[in-house]
Structure 1
Amino acid sequence: MDYSEVTERISRKFSKSGKEIDRQKVEGKLRRLIDEFGVQPSEAERSVSNELAKEFNIPAAGSSGGTGAGAGGATEQKAIAQAQPGDWVTLEGKVVSLAAPASPAIAQSGIIADESGGIRFVVWAKSNALKMKEGAWYRIESAVVDEYKNIPNLKVHSGTTITEIEKTDPLIPEPSPIRDLRPGIGSVRAKVIQEWEVTHDRMLQSGLLGDETGTVKFVIWKEPGKEKLAVGTVYSVFYAQVDEYNERLSLNITTATIMQEEGDIVTATGGDVEIRGAIVHIAPGSGIIKRCPVPGCNRALSRQNYCPIHEIQPNFVYDLRIKGWLDDGEKTHNILLKRDVVEALTGINLDQAKEIAENNPLGMDEVFLQMRDKVLGRYVACKGREIENRLLVNTCERMHFESGEHAKLLNRAGGAP
């Protein structure tokens, strides 16, 4: 990056007001913000311009808005919920969770909160900052707020001062309805509706949480002391990280405070979708499969009965599933059918599938072939919930073949009017 060009641009802004800047000092601050703290160049330019405007007691010269103080300047104490990317802030809060650093360059990371809300923080190793303890209150002066995946992050650098403060106020956030969650830090009271097969070796559990207003995906990563949530149980989850991907929210509750609650929640029944079309592909891994019998695992095993977590499992458990594609004429949908749906759609139950797998020369492949012949190319109506670009099917019924509709699809495919 050409820092001299940015410095020149800032200089021209202030020369119009008859002010001369210290170019060497300005360029040093730009390098510090961008190279050391990872601030976006545009935000770094804005921050330095705002600091100079405050120093010269003039309106911000050509900045993109905001009045945050710059590096090394005085910073106003703010409530955590008011901290926005590009701000230099001073705040007081309680460290409600700590996470394992993702890089040797990071000394600490976690979540700090006050009565207004929480924010994720990162302490750079080279800052030589005071090491914070979970559950303690701190005053953090002159930290910078940036943004990662549309979520504000508090960065503690060499110019930040951390002081432990004497405060024992309880800090229990009010859970929000799932439908009101936004990217950042959030708290919910919800029931575990489903547990899904994990897709990563480092993942302890993933599934679906629900309350009266909606549902949201959750994930727990493997860390010492972390335990799975029980399906059908209600929990209060405080200070979870709310992430957004492809306009869908998910809760990372690995470092959240989790409390099991009494009672039940009537979860929202809305949100299911129906897709009608033809099953155009049956993916490998469909038919009869073997699952790990270790309580809480349930992973699909390889043909050699190998679990990626618990290794060889001779006392496996059989299950049925179908993974495939459903084409509605405009879009192809990734679908997953669980055992009861597979049995109803194919007419082959688990006991029959086991008998075929154990007595036919082709074994489990024969189950796959028979199920594929029964469903491939068939028109069906599948109902379920779309999660992570996959339809988790709860019911799937065969549709009556409409020759007129078929002709319309063929005409459209051929470009006919």
Structure 2
Amino acid sequence: LAELSGGEMSVNLLVKIVSVSKKVVRLSGGDEKEIAFGLMADRSGIRKFTAWEEFGLEEGGTYRIEGAYTKSYRGEVEVNLGNLCTVEPAPGELEDLDPSSLPRIGTPREVKIGEIVPKMGTVTVEGRVLSASEKTVTVSGAEKEIQEGVLGDETGVIRYTAWGSVRLREGGSYRIAGAYVRSWKGIPQLGIDERAEVTPLDREVDVKESTEGPTRKRISELLLKGEQYVEVTGCLIEVREGSGLLFRCPVCRRVLKESTCRVHGPQQGYPDLRVKAVVDDGYGAAQVVLNREITEKLLGMTPEEALEESERRGEVLGLEEEVRRKLQGRWFVMRGTAILDDFGPTLLPKEVEIVKGDVEEELKTLLEEIEGVVL
């Protein structure tokens, strides 16, 4: 395995399967296919593999493989088992091989989050998830559900996007091997897909805390910088679809649509609350995602109570109109992380307060300031 360089069209191997999992992928033609993926080892080390056909691979099993091909993906060589490949069990071979003592070939270098810079390639990081939210995006004409969030350690924070079945729990600490670094307007960000190894940690990763607290910003200023810890005061001008009561997959936490998870199929989901909205401070507008804890506080009900209320009212949209009635048009002070991407700034507040002062007077002051700028 250590001799593979990527691009080999046909190689023969004697390996032990270290780990194997299955997933369903969508092929370029739109068809779905179940594949196996994991790690294989020989006496030289451990590499990733993908089996595109059913070979009956089992963890701990030893196999003689003929006709495998290799590809280099983000700087790491992977073994692929396709329809021209033959796989035969090899009992008695490599019985004394202990994978735990072997090196992972091509393991991405380990870095602190504060050390990440654009064009770094693939990396290994440890961090705590400071915020996480779901988003639906369109890629090559097809809708995909992703998770966006912020990961932090004692050196800094970075925005991440998790693709495929990868989901991180807000507040959880993880070791992520094989995350890839991309950049947006020179700001480094992490991409995490199913090729990465995501391992929950049994300890909490320390996160760099701001000693000065959030910086008060106008929303227009959020367009000038990427990740930042801010305080914004603005009017919630729009409650977006998908706000209020929703149901999540108990396996991956994706939002269910018609009681179905796009990855795990029909599920008996559990209730949750969130608000997706737009806030405007007179200088600019930003998207806002309020988590369950903040939404509970603002609505005055738990997810279970919201479910009972929704059933009592017979509302299909899960109290979306109730969210609009209570929140739309009100002014809030929001403190938390601001992230910047192709869709503009997004606020992920950790604290939200309702402005109880004279809103009309504050709005008048804002308008006077704006008119002064225009003049």
Instruction: Kindly provide the CA deviation profile for residues 61-119 of structure 1, in whole angstroms up to 9, marking residues without a partner as x.
Output: xxxxxxxxxxxxxxxxxxxxxxxxxxxxxxxxxx997799xxxxxx833244xxxxxxx
CA distance in 1, matches of 2:118, 2:71: 22
Q: Which residue is equivalent to 2:155?
A: 213
Specify the code of the residue in structure 2 equivalent to 1:400. K
Closer, same or farther in 2 for the Cα pair 1:189/1:262, shift >3 Å?
farther
Q: Which residue is equivalent to 2:249?
A: 292
CA distance in 1, matches of 2:198, 2:284: 40
In structure 2, list runs of 5 or more residues that go unmatched: 1-44, 51-69, 80-102, 138-142, 211-227
Asked if 1:266 is matched to 2:206, the reply is yes
Using the TM superposition, give the Cα deviation of residue 342 of structure 1 relative to its aligned residue in structure 2, in angstroms: 1.1
Closer, same or farther in 2 for the Cα pair 1:277/1:359, shift >3 Å?
same
Closer, same or farther in 2 for the Cα pair 1:383/1:227, shift >3 Å?
closer
Using the TM superposition, give the Cα deviation of residue 251 of structure 1 relative to its aligned residue in structure 2, in angstroms: 2.0
CA distance in 2, matches of 1:218, 1:183: 13
- 2:338 is aligned, of 386, 392, 396, to 386
Which one has a larger percent helix, Structure 1 or Structure 2? 1
Closer, same or farther in 2 for the Cα pair 1:198/1:326, shift >3 Å?
closer
Q: Which residue is equivalent to 1:360?
A: 313
Larger radius of gyration: 1
Using the TM superposition, give the Cα deviation of residue 367 of structure 1 relative to its aligned residue in structure 2, in angstroms: 2.0
Which one has a larger percent strand, Structure 1 or Structure 2? 2
Contact 2:128 2:204 in 1 (8 A): no
- 1:108 is aligned, of 47, 71, 77, to 71
- 1:312 is aligned, of 266, 278, 298, to 266
Instruction: Kindly provide the CA deviation profile for residues 291-320 of structure 1, in whole angstroms up to 9, marking residues without a partner as x.
Output: 223x1x212223x3233223333x221111
Where in structure 2 are the equivalents of 1:392-403 lying within 5 Å? Answer: 392-402=348-358, 403=360
CA distance in 1, matches of 2:302, 2:168: 30
- 1:176 is aligned, of 111, 117, 122, to 111
Asked if 1:197 is matched to 2:134, the reply is yes
Instruction: Kindly provide the CA deviation profile for residues 129-181 of structure 1, in whole angstroms up to 9, marking residues without a partner as x.
Output: xxx777xxxxxxxxxxxxxxxxxxxxxxxxxxxxxxxxx99877763332221
Closer, same or farther in 2 for the Cα pair 1:204/1:340, shift >3 Å?
closer
Contact 2:234 2:280 in 1 (8 A): yes
CA distance in 1, matches of 2:320, 2:104: 60
Contact 1:217 1:251 in 2 (8 A): yes
Specify the code of the residue in structure 1 equivalent to 2:239. I
Contact 2:272 2:303 in 1 (8 A): yes
Q: Which residue is equivalent to 2:180?
A: 241
Using the TM superposition, give the Cα deviation of residue 327 of structure 1 relative to its aligned residue in structure 2, in angstroms: 0.6
Using the TM superposition, give the Cα deviation of residue 282 of structure 1 relative to its aligned residue in structure 2, in angstroms: 0.7
Provide TM-score, normalisation by structure 1.
0.52
In the alignment of these two chains, the number of paired residues is: 259
- Bigger mean CA offset, 394-403 vs 195-204: 195-204
Closer, same or farther in 2 for the Cα pair 1:276/1:282, shift >3 Å?
same
Where 1:405 maps in the other structure, the secondary structure is helix
Q: Which residue is equivalent to 2:224?
A: none
Contact 1:189 1:211 in 2 (8 A): no
Asked if 1:301 is matched to 2:256, the reply is yes
Specify the code of the residue in structure 2 equivalent to 1:332. A
Instruction: Kindly provide the CA deviation profile for residues 346-389 of structure 1, in whole angstroms up to 9, marking residues without a partner as x.
Output: 3233333222211114x244722222111111111011212343
Percent identical among aligned pairs is 25
Contact 1:288 1:364 in 2 (8 A): no
Where 1:272 maps in the other structure, the secondary structure is strand
For the aligned residue pairs, the C-alpha RMSD in angstroms reads 3.8
